[in-house]
Amino acid sequence: MPRPVLDEAAIHPAIQQKVANLNNELLRQVQAEVASNAVMVFGMAGNPWVGKARKTLDAAGVAHGYLEIGSYFSQWRRRNALKMWTGWPTFPMVFVRGVLVGGAQDVQRLAETGELKQLLAA
């Protein structure tokens, strides 16, 4: 499933390093959290869907890590880097065993069908 990404050759050499390093600290932190947690939720303060995803995981007895990245009023540029990296347009972003599974409604569906437990057992 290739996604279109601006080719490096189409970025002027004078700004390539800036583009390459934009919000790298957040992406490294996110990647480390995904690698060290079987289930990881990334969210933002004030977003009701984040709470719904976490409640679904709690109800299913699934331990999970959580990282809050700002709110509706702060850190939107940092969150945009995460959206561009994953291709997922909204929060929360839920990862199971290193795989992005989607948001709150997707996690709810996985829990209801039993697929969440299967993913965790694999």
Task: Give the Cβ contact number of residue 19 at 10 Å.
Answer: 11
Answer yes or no: is pLDDT of 3 > 90.
Answer: no
- Answer whether residue 11 shows pLDDT above 90: yes
How many CA atoms does the CB half-sphere of 31 hold within 13 Å?
9
Which of 2.30.31.70, 3.30.70.270, 3.40.30.10, 3.40.50.1110 would CATH assign to domain 8-121?
3.40.30.10
99 has a pLDDT exceeding 90: yes
pLDDT tens digits along 109-118:
999 999 999 9
What is the C-alpha separation between 30 and 67, in angstroms, rounded? 8
110's CB contacts (< 8 A; 6+ apart) are 96, 101, 116, 119
Q: Mean pLDDT across the chain, nearest whole number? A: 96
Confirm if 39 and 33 have CB atoms less than 8 A apart: no
Alpha-carbon torsion 51, 115, 31, 77, what sign? negative
